[in-house]
Chains A and B, each alone.
Chain A
Amino acid sequence: TQLLEQSPQFLSIQEGENLTVYCNSSSVFSSLQWYRQEPGEGPVLLVTVVTGGEVKKLKRLTFQFGDARKDSSLHITAAQPGDTGLYLCAGFGAGSYQLTFGKGTKLSVIP
């Protein structure tokens, strides 16, 4: 099993602050996905990164895939209460259809 380590596990910040969530592995992934999950719901895809060094932006969210395709980060600028949720990274290992998830980062943005 290829493991994905997410940090931090919990994050509580004030509205307007910036934050970064990390997703690391010792294994190479063919692609990495970021999901957001709200209480009582299933995860919903935010973005997929495929190429080493790739940067994708989704409004105030910036996603980066490491050059070696072993790590990724999610940066949120000027966090808002609506960003509150569980953020999960997930990846397909090389040559595998198994989608492995990290344990998630629980983000609370306080108004």
Chain B
Amino acid sequence: DVKVTQSSRYLVKRTGEKVFLECVQDMDHENMFWYRQDPGLGLRLIYFSYDVKMKEKGDIPEGYSVSREKKERFSLILESASTNQTSMYLCASSLWGFAEAFFGQGTRLTVV
């Protein structure tokens, strides 16, 4: 069974904190993605990575950074959390360029 695991289902952080969201896949996939999902706005791509140590900005990268030191792990970093970053964060991976994306269960982050 393919598996994408996000480190937390629910997270509450304070404004200004540095926040790390971790994602691990066990499928040896090349590509990994971070999305946020908000009501009425759908899934919006924050960053994606098509190889280890390679990353590309998505549609809404401001306020975020990512790290991919190992193929199986893709981390999303909120440098200084703000209330407008309260959202559902979804990690996904895919085998190659245009293949099916497998999603984790999501992390619901609340910034207070």
What residues make up the interface of A, taking CB atoms closer than 8 Å to B?
1, 9, 30-31, 33, 40-45, 48, 88, 90, 92, 97-104
Contacts and interface: CB of A to CB of B under 8 A. Distances in A.
A42 B104 contact: yes
Interface residues on B, range: 20 to 34
B105 interface: yes
A102 B42 contact: yes
Interface of B: 4, 31, 33, 35, 40-45, 48, 50, 56, 58-59, 90, 92, 94, 97-98, 100-106
26 contacts: A1-B59, A9-B40, A30-B98, A41-B106, A42-B4, A42-B90, A42-B103, A42-B104, A42-B106, A43-B43, A44-B103, A45-B100, A45-B101, A90-B43, A92-B98, A97-B31, A97-B50, A97-B98, A98-B45, A99-B45, A99-B48, A99-B92, A99-B101, A100-B45, A101-B42, A101-B45
A102 B44 CA distance: 9
A104 B51 CA distance: 29
A40 B104 CA distance: 10
Contacts of B4: 42
Contact of A103 (B40, B48, B100): B40
A48 B100 contact: yes
Interface of B is mostly: strand
Contacts of A99: 33, 45, 48, 92, 94, 101
Contacts of B42: 88, 101-104
- Max chain B Cβ within 10 angstroms of own Cβ: one of A1, A90, A97, A102: A97
Nearest to A101: B43
A91 to B, nearest CB: 9
